[in-house]
Amino acid sequence: MIPPANRPILLVEDNETHYEAMARALRQAGCNQPLVRCADGDEALDYLYRRGRFRSSESAARPIIILLDLNLPGTCGQEVLVAIKSDAELKSIPVIIVTSLSDPGEVRRCYQFGANGFIRKRTGYDETVVTARRLSEYWFQASEVPDGL
Amino acid sequence: MPRQKQSAQRKNESPSTHGTLAPRISTSIVATNPIPPHPSHVVGIGASAGGLEALERFFDHMPPDTGLAFVVVPHLSPDFKSLMGELLAKRTKMPVCQVTDGVIVQPNCIYVIPPRKNMIITAGRLVLTDIESPHGLNLPIDIFFRSLAQDLSDRAIGIVLSGTGSDGTRGIRTIKEAGGIVMVQDDTTAKFDGMPRSAIATGLADHVLPPEEMPQQLLNFTKYPAGMESSSPVVLVETDDKLSEIFNLLRTRHGLDFSQYKPAMVARRIERRMIIHQADELRQYLDLLRQTPDESKKLCTELLIHVTAFFRDPEAFTRLASAVVGKLVEQAAPDETLRIWVPACSTGEEAYSLAMLFHEEQERLQKNVEVKIFATDVDEHAVEQAGRGVFPASIASDLSKDRLERFFVKSGDVYQFSPQLRKSVIFAPHNVLKDPPFTKLDLIACRNLLIYLQPELQKKLLSMFHFALAPRGFLFLGASETVGDLAEEFDSVELRWRIYQKCRPSRLTLDNRSAILGAARDISHRGDLSLQIRTSANESLLGRVYETLIADYCPPCFLVNDKHELLYVFGDASRFLRVPPGKPNQDVLRMVGDDLAVVLATAMHKALAEGGEVSYDNVRFGETDLARRISLRVKPLPKRRFDDKGGEKLLLVLMNERSNSEAAAPEGNELDVAGISTQRITDIEQELRQTRENLQATIEELETSNEELQATNEELLAANEELQSTNEELQSVNEELFTVNGEYQKKIAELTEANNDIHNLFRITDIGKVFLDREGRVRKFTPSATAFVNLLEHDVGRPIEHIAHNLVDVDLPAAVRQVLDEGEPLQRDVRARNGQWILMRVLPYRVETKSGEGVIITFVDVSELKRSEAALRESEAKFHDFYDNAPDLFASLDAATGKVVDCNSRLAATLGLPKADVVGRRIFDFMSVETAQLAQRAFEEFLQTGSLRNIEHTLKRQDGSLVEVTLNASAVRDERSRIIVARAVWHDVTDRKAAEERIRRFAAELEESRAEIARQAASLERQAAELQSRNLELARSNKELDDFAHIASHDLKEPLQSLLFNCRFLAEDFSSRLGADGHARLAALMRQAEKMTELVDSLLQFSRFSRVDLNIQEVDLGAVVTDVIESLPPQIAQSGIDFRVQQPLPTVRCDPAISAVFRNLITNAVKYNDKPERWVEIGVNNGGTAAPNDGHDHVPVFFVRDNGIGIAPRDREKVFEIFRRLHAPDKFGGGTGAGLTIARKIVERHGGKIWVESKVGEGATFYFTLKPDGSK
């Protein structure tokens, strides 16, 4: 059992710069959780199901929350979301969609599939910092998350 | 009221032991109720020919509130409507109605049977049935009377009035049987006496009266108290003097003895007669009887009425058939005749029933036996009727269908008994109480006679039946009758149905028989000597003493009558009497022996002749030595004072034997027998001579009377012949009458039809007519006349002077007088006040050829005619105008010659001749020679076909020039459809020909131009196709461009973002190493990158508006504007600007993207403003007024106005180009230069328009609309 403070935030993000901006913003917002990045959907699912290079549980600790980009090469974010929320074990992990697309239908669909949050990816770095702070405050200070397994 | 007073009197004097009828009367005083719910009596009135008058007279005298109901059954014609109801209604205040089926009979009403119906009354309702054959024999009165009797019994009253035939006669019989009352019109007052006579002949009528006297009698009866009562028993003392006197009277007058009838029945019927005659006491009635032989006859008839029916008690007859009839037929010897007696047969139904039974049984057993049925009744009428064997249709209910078909022949409405079977029944008048019976009978059927008789007489009658029956013969009695005391003499075959069989072959004793006969013969002379002698059942003591004394002391003695018959023997006479051989008889002379017989005969003869006693002593008796001597005394018995002279003379013969001592007396004293014999012979010879002389005289007398009789006979024969010829005459008269009657009926039908015709004629011609008599009084008028003369129904009979009329300037009375005086018709057109034109004619009313009998005024509305005349005149004028002025040439040509009969002026003008010169000449004269030949052929053809169509030819003018014409002609035909006139019309086609030529030329030119146009059109089409394909290409490339812009801008954004992020990372991570200069460069780099991002965003937004479909919804523009102003970037909003927003802004249907329009316009208005006091005005329709440009006032025009720098006219289009900026990037806050482009895009996507008006330096106003302008 990993203490919550050590459980990582899983960021599923293909764009290196975006990942880095979010990572920096989270640190700057005072979030000290470990960060794990998966560059596409298949990798994210490998991680969560501890497959491929994440076969050992040490290398694939259960994330405390998942920040999921929708626009991914290969298995898209929505498919990843459906897979997580269809799995009895994984579906209790909060999944927050982070995307630059803002189709209103997309938002509704994601919540229907079980998303726990939907955040617009900001264009500027300062705004990204604001977003990261709010995320951190909400998920790690304002609310409780389920225990990891 | 005297009537009530009498009743009261009767009430007081009513000791029940008294022999009057008072007790019954006292119990039944009728209350004079107002109107009972049911009629007290129902009066059925039958009438036929002449009956209407009788009915009128009857109802004239009938008060309307009697409580009676009247049902009138006249013989109505099946073919005509009956006016009987209306006619009667005039004579009475009672309601008169034609009967409808099922109507309940109410008091004080008159009901009349409808035509073609039969009617019966049942349970107080009148029920109608259709007559089967309207023209066959139908007896509606009988039918109704029968039902009336059945339904109301003694409350039924039947009245028979004038008419022919005998309808009603059978009906009144049933009414009488039921105890009702019958009245018949006095045949001398009846117009037709057939029906009354037939009814009177039955002797059943209680009253025979003229109709006007009937109501009073009717009311006397119906109001008479006793008439209502019939159930309380009558106590009549059998020995009542008055009653026996009545019986005596009837016996002496009619030979009918009713004393042994049941007193209750007799009393009831006598009482009814008393009521009818309003006799209060029996004494009064007795007086009446004595004075009027008719009444006694009626009383007899009334007492003799019996009810009978076919197979009455069917069960009894069934039993009779099996137990008796079958047996009799079976046991009958081949040549034996079965003898049956039906006493008191009434109208014969029972006798016929038996005949049928015997016939059926014979058939069943297949045995032929001769059957004789003696049917007798005391009532000769009944016997006569029975003999006819004709029965009403109603018997169908008593007989099975099978029997009805087998034994009856239906003729008309009646049934005739089968003639073959009828032969076996012999009808005869016979009084069963008086006349000797038939003998050796196999069956006696005497049903329901005994019940009317007293027990004593019943017994006697039964004894007689016993006597009359053959050994083992059968007796058939009514259901409530028995053989009583004679039960021992009869075996009961069927106890329930009273069928008995004589059980001993013996007959009853002579005594018994003579007792019956004697009693029957002489019932009231019970005290007579000859009967007193007979053995009495209750001998007195004295009688017994007499007997003893006679036996001991009296010499043998016997009673003999004048015929020498031995009646009684006293003492022991055996020495003198012996029974001679041969058939025993009563002759005393044969019993006494030859020697004594002579003496006795002489003595008796002498005693009778002299009337005194004759005695011979010492008569020798017996031839032998043993001869004895006797003294013989013959003594006539003294007469009783009341013994009438016709009574038989009786002699008492005493024989006293002398003792032996006396016998030895001297010879001289002996009676000289020889002398006596000689004396006797002499006497007899004397007597013989006398007798001969008497005989001679008698023979002569007889011869004389014989001759007289022969003469009389001849006379009778002659009279008979006369009567026969008279009869024939009468028959032929009757035939004639029938014919005449038929003719009259036909006449009436014709008259009715003619009358209807006239009525209809009057009605449909709609011509007002008023008929006046010779005094000028209104006799009759038609409804349409009332429009002109103010006549009402009750004006009939008033003089015409009194009647106002609606005609202008007409002296109607004067006109009438004139016509009456002169006899000449008068005719004028006059005007009515309402403006109508009326043809008024006053005509003499003619009877045959004689006038002056009256006047008829007729009014015919000729307004229409006048109008037509005017219209005709006008039309005629019109026709002439057209005819003469028409451009065509008209002529009527005589078909035979082709000559012009008539022509219009145009023809004459065209030919250049006066009209007079044209008419009368042949039409061919106005043609060139060749044309005339052709025309003549055409004309001949026309005479065949009757028509010519568009024949083109030429006419020659007077000056020789030709006119081109077309000819049309039609035919006028006579009644045999031959053509007599040709109507020709020529049309001058000279001008038309020229025009046609021109048209032909134009047409050719037109054809050419049309070909040219077609060529050009083809090339245009090609060009249009090219244009279309180019257009499609353009649209496709436009779409591609849009897509490209979208994808490009999206893909451009990512690297820009990465660039910016990395610049930040660079600044953070290498801050110290960059130095101030490095930071400045990095900042510039980032500014450019951000600028680039904005441009891409604008491009993205623009392309999105081009691509995405509009999401039209209700948008509150006020809220949109407020939101836009509040969300302006801080650097702009800070600057303190006066936003003037028009309140309220409307809510319109559009895409929410409209906010981008307002945002861009407001942002621009704020940015491009260099004034110290900046304001922006936002509103619609210039704050309420229309936009300067016309044509936009139909849709709202929104505007955003500022007091900024303004836009030069040359730039007003350029501002809407994308990325076009008019100022340096850093001036006025910068921008992408895409804002207005996007605004225009959005407005145009809504179908609207955006434009700007401005003055440089003073500000600018942007206008836009959101929908296409409807006016453009």
Could you tell me if B820 and B932 lie in one domain? Answer: no
Distance between CA B874 and CA B877 in Å, rounded? 5
A149 assigned to some structural domain: no
Coil/strand/helix, residue A141? helix
Q: Which of B142, B167, B257, B795 is catalytic?
A: B167
Contact B515, B456 (CB under 8 A): no
Closest by Cβ to A20, choosing from B1060, B1065, B1093 = B1065
CATH number at residue B315: 3.40.50.150
Residues in chain A with CB shorter than 8 Å from the CB of B1058 are 15, 17-18
Of B26, B40, B48, B346, catalytic: B48
pLDDT recorded at residue B319: 87
pLDDT over 50 (residue B320)? yes
Within a domain: residue A147? Answer: no
Complete DSSP assignment for B320-366 = HIIIIIHHHHHH--TT-EEEEEESS-TTSHHHHHHHHHHHHHHHHHT
- B1093/A17 Cβ within 8 A: no
Tell me which of B75, B466, B605, B805 is the catalytic residue. Answer: B75
Per-residue pLDDT band at A132 (split at 50, 70, 90): very high
More confident residue, B539 or B607: B607
Give the distance from CA A96 to its chain's centroid: 6
Alpha carbons B1117 and B1180: distance in angstroms, whole number: 10
* Cα atoms in the Cβ-side hemisphere of radius 13 Å centred on B596: 26
> Residue A73's domain is classified under what CATH number?
3.40.50.2300
3-state DSSP assignment of residue B725? helix
What DSSP assignment string belongs to B72-102?
EEE---TTS---HHHHHHTT-SS-EEE--TT
- B525-534, B1096-1105, B1223-1232: which is most confident: B1096-1105
Q: Return d(Cα B480, Cα B491) in angstroms, integer.
A: 17
> Domain containing A45: what range?
4-139
Q: Rounded CA gap, B1125 and B1161, in Å? A: 11
Residue B876 lies in a domain: no
- Condensed to tens digits (0 to 9), the pLDDT of residues B399-409 reads 888 888 888 88
In this structure, is residue B870 part of a structural domain?
Answer: no
Q: Which of B217-226, B624-633, B932-941 has the highest mean pLDDT?
A: B932-941
Report how far apart, in Å, the C-alpha atoms of B906 and of each of A61, B882, B951, B986, B1130 are: 126, 11, 19, 10, 104
- Please compute the mean of the pLDDT values over residues B917-941 and round it to a whole number: 85
**Confidence band for B660, pLDDT divided at 50, 70 and 90:** low
**Which of A15, A123, A125 is nearest residue B1064 as measured by Cβ atoms?**
A125
For residue B1053, the distance in angstroms to the closest alpha carbon of chain A comes to: 9
Mutate to test the interface with A, among B1046, B1058, B1061, B1097 (most CBs of A within 10 A): B1061
With H, G, I as helix, E, B as strand and everything else as coil, classify residue B194: helix
Strand, coil or helix: what is B972? Answer: strand
Task: Confirm whether B322 is a catalytic residue.
Answer: no
pLDDT at B531: 37
Residue B1141: give its domain's CATH number. 3.30.565.10
What is the C-alpha separation between A132 and A138, in angstroms, rounded? 10
Strand partners, B469: B441
Whichever domain contains B832, its CATH number is 3.30.450.20
Residue A114 binned pLDDT confidence (cut-offs 50, 70, 90): very high
Question: Residue B730: what pLDDT?
Answer: 84
Per-residue pLDDT band at B1194 (split at 50, 70, 90): low
Measured CA to CA, the distance from residue A84 to residue A106 in angstroms comes to 18
Is B75 among the catalytic positions? yes
Do B346 and B356 touch, CB atoms closer than 8 A?
no
B1155 and B1211 fall within a common domain: yes
Q: What is the mean pLDDT of residues B110-139?
A: 79
Closest CA to B111 of B90, B130, B89: B89
List of chain A residues whose C-beta atoms are within 8 Å of the C-beta of residue B1052: none
Band of pLDDT at residue B523, cut at 50, 70 and 90: very low
* Partner-chain residue, chosen from A18, A20, A123, that has the shortest CB–CB distance to B1093: A123
Chain A residues touching residue B1064 (CB < 8 angstroms):
21, 125
Structure-model confidence comparison of residues B953 and B81, the more confident one: B953
Least confident of B577-586, B619-628, B953-962, B1123-1132: B619-628
* Together in a domain, B1088 and B1237: no
Q: Pick from B1053, B1060, B1093: which is nearest to A125 by CB? A: B1060
Helical H segments across B538-627, by residue range: 541-553, 588-591, 594-610
Q: What share of chain B is helix, strand, coil (3-state, %, to 5)?
A: 50, 20, 30
Quick check: B55 and B163 in contact, CB under 8 A? no
- B207 and B241 belong to one structural domain: no
Model confidence over B553-564: pLDDT tens digits?
777 888 888 778
For residue A52, the distance in angstroms to the closest alpha carbon of chain B comes to 30
Average pLDDT over residues A39-65: 86
Q: Are B46 and B76 in contact (CB under 8 A)?
A: no
Total domains in chain B come to 9
Q: Are strands A117-120 and B962-973 parallel, antiparallel or unpaired?
A: unpaired
Q: Which residue of B has its CA nearest to A28?
A: B1068
- Measured between CA atoms, the residue of chain A closest to residue B1062 is A17
Least confidently predicted of B93-102, B624-633, B833-842, B886-895: B624-633
Q: Are residues B1131 and B1225 in the same domain?
A: yes
Q: Give the model's pLDDT for residue B405.
A: 86
- Specify the CATH number for the domain of residue B153: 3.40.50.180
Nearest Cβ partner for B1058 among A17, A24, A124: A17
Most confident of A109-123, B1045-1059, B1190-1204: A109-123
Highest mean pLDDT among A20-29, B472-481, B1051-1060: A20-29
Q: What is the b/e burial string over B545-561, where b = at least 16 CB atoms within 10 angstroms of the residue's CB?
A: eeeeeeeeeebbbbbbb
Query: Hey, which residues does B951 pair with through a beta bridge?
Result: B967
* Contact residues, chain A, for B1090 at CB < 8 Å: 124
Q: State mean pLDDT over B357-382.
A: 86
Give the mean pLDDT of A21-50: 90
Q: Which residue has the higher pLDDT, A80 or B272?
A: A80
Min Cα separation A129/chain B (Å): 12
Write the CB contacts of B831 (distance below 8 Å, at least 6 apart in sequence).
B807, B808, B809, B837, B838
Residue B1042 CA, distance from chain mean position: 98
Cross-chain residue pair A17–B1062, CB shorter than 8 Å: yes
Q: Do A125 and B1061 touch (CB under 8 A)?
A: yes
Alpha helix segments (H runs only) across B508-650: 510-521, 529-532, 541-553, 588-591, 594-610
Pair B471, B608 in one domain: no
Q: B1006: domain range?
A: 989-1108
Arithmetic mean of pLDDT, B1078-1087: 86
pLDDT of residue B290: 82
Burial B869-906 (b: 16+ CB within 10 A, else e): eeeeeeeeeeeeeeebeeebbbbbbebeebbbbebbbb
B1093 CB neighbours in chain A (<8 A) are 123
Q: How many residues are listed for chain A in this entry?
A: 149
**What's the rounded mean pLDDT across residues B686-705?**
89
Residues of A in contact with B1082 (CB under 8 A): none
Give chain B's mean pLDDT.
79
pLDDT of residue B101: 85
Structure tokens at B109: 């009403």
Q: Which residues contact B509 (CB under 8 A, 6 or more apart)?
A: none
Structure tokens at B897: 């010659």
Long-range contacts formed by B726-735: CB under 8 A, 24+ apart: none
Q: What span, in angstroms and rounded, lies between the C-alpha atoms of B1100 and B1044?
A: 10
pLDDT score at A96: 94
Residues B223 and B237 in one domain: no
Query: Token digits for B529?
Result: 């000597």
- B contact test, residue of A125, A126, A128, A129 with most B CBs within 10 A: A125
CATH of the domain at B1094: 1.10.287
Contact residues, chain A, for B1061 at CB < 8 Å? 17-18, 20-21, 125
B1054 contacts A15? CB cut-off 8 A: yes
What is chain B's length? Answer: 1272
Q: What percent of chain B has pLDDT over 70?
A: 85
- Residue B7, pLDDT > 50, answer no
User: Helix (H, G, I), strand (E, B), or coil: what is residue B440?
Assistant: coil
- A125 CB near a chain B CB, below 8 Å? yes
At residue B523, what are phi and psi to the nearest 5 degrees?
Answer: -65, -30
Q: Please compute the mean of the pLDDT values over residues B503-522 and round it to a whole number.
A: 47
Per-residue model confidence as pLDDT tens digits over B243-290: 777 888 887 777 777 777 777 777 777 777 777 777 767 777 888 888
**Among B721, B740, B764, which residue terminates a domain?**
B764
Confidence of residue B108 (pLDDT cuts 50, 70, 90): confident
In a domain, B43, yes or no: yes
Read off the pLDDT of each residue in B22-35 and give the average, rounded to a whole number. 38
Question: Is some CB atom of chain B closer than 8 A to the CB atom of A127?
Answer: no
Q: What value does the mean pLDDT take over residues B103-119? A: 85
Q: What is the mean pLDDT of residues B58-63?
A: 86
State the pLDDT at residue B948.
Answer: 84
Residue B298 CA to residue B208 CA, distance in Å, equals 12
Do both B220 and B239 map to the same domain?
Answer: no
Would you call B409 helix, strand, or coil by DSSP?
A: strand
Q: Does one domain contain both B223 and B236? A: no
Of B1054, B1061, B1093, which is closest to A21 when you measure between CB atoms? B1061
- Are residues B239 and B277 located together in one domain of the fold? yes
* Per-residue pLDDT band at B78 (split at 50, 70, 90): low
Total domains, chain A = 1
Q: What is the pLDDT of residue A148?
A: 62
Structure confidence at residue B30 as a pLDDT band (50, 70, 90): very low
A123, A126, A127, best to mutate vs chain B, most B CBs in 10 Å: A123
Q: What is the pLDDT of residue A11?
A: 93
In this prediction, residue B491 has a pLDDT band, given cuts at 50, 70 and 90, of confident
Query: Is A110 domain-assigned?
Result: yes
Q: Which of A143-147, B182-186, B431-435, B668-672 has the lowest mean pLDDT?
A: B668-672
**Mean pLDDT across A18-47:** 90
Cβ contact A20–B1058 (<8 Å): no
pLDDT-derived band at B235 (thresholds 50, 70, 90) equals very low
Q: Is B167 a catalytic residue?
A: yes
> Does the pLDDT at position B623 exceed 60?
no
More confident: B472 or B676: B472
Q: Which amino acid is at B1016?
A: Q
Q: Quick check: is B544 in a domain?
A: no
Categorize the per-residue pLDDT at B833 as very low, low, confident or very high, splitting at 50, 70 and 90.
confident
Average pLDDT over residues A90-108: 85
Per mean pLDDT, which range of A71-85, B553-567, B738-752 is the poorest? B553-567
Judging contacts by C-beta atoms under 8 Å, the chain A residues touching residue B1065 are 20-21, 24
Residue window 15-44, chain A: list those with CB within 8 Å of chain B: 15, 17-18, 20-21, 24
Q: Answer yes or no: do A17 and B1064 touch at CB < 8 A.
A: no
CA geometry: angle B289, B290, B292, nearest 5 deg: 65
What was the pLDDT predicted at B901?
A: 86
Establish how many alpha carbons lie within 13 A of residue B928's alpha carbon, considering only the half-sphere containing its beta carbon: 10
- Contacting residues of B for A104, CB less than 8 Å apart: none
Mean pLDDT, rounded, for B668-677: 64
More confident residue, B688 or B542: B688
- Give the minimum alpha-carbon distance from A3 to chain B in angstroms, rounded to a whole number: 32
Greatest mean pLDDT range, B263-272, B505-514, B1240-1249: B1240-1249
Q: What mean pLDDT is predicted for residues B816-825?
A: 85
Whether the CA torsion B226, B231, B237, B240 is positive or negative: it is positive
Nearest partner of B202 among B304, B66, B95, judged by Cα: B304
Q: Percentage of chain B with pLDDT > 90?
A: 1
**Is B974 among the domain residues?**
no
- Phi then psi for residue B40, to 5 deg, are -65, -40
In a domain, A98, yes or no: yes
β-strand pairing of A65-68 with A9-12? parallel
* Residue B875 domain-assigned (yes or no): no
Question: A21-30, A48-57, B191-200 — which one is most confidently predicted on average?
Answer: A21-30
Of the pLDDT bands very low, low, confident and very high (cuts 50, 70, 90), residue B514 is: very low
Pairing relation of β-strands B109-112 and B156-160? unpaired
DSSP three-state, residue A78: helix
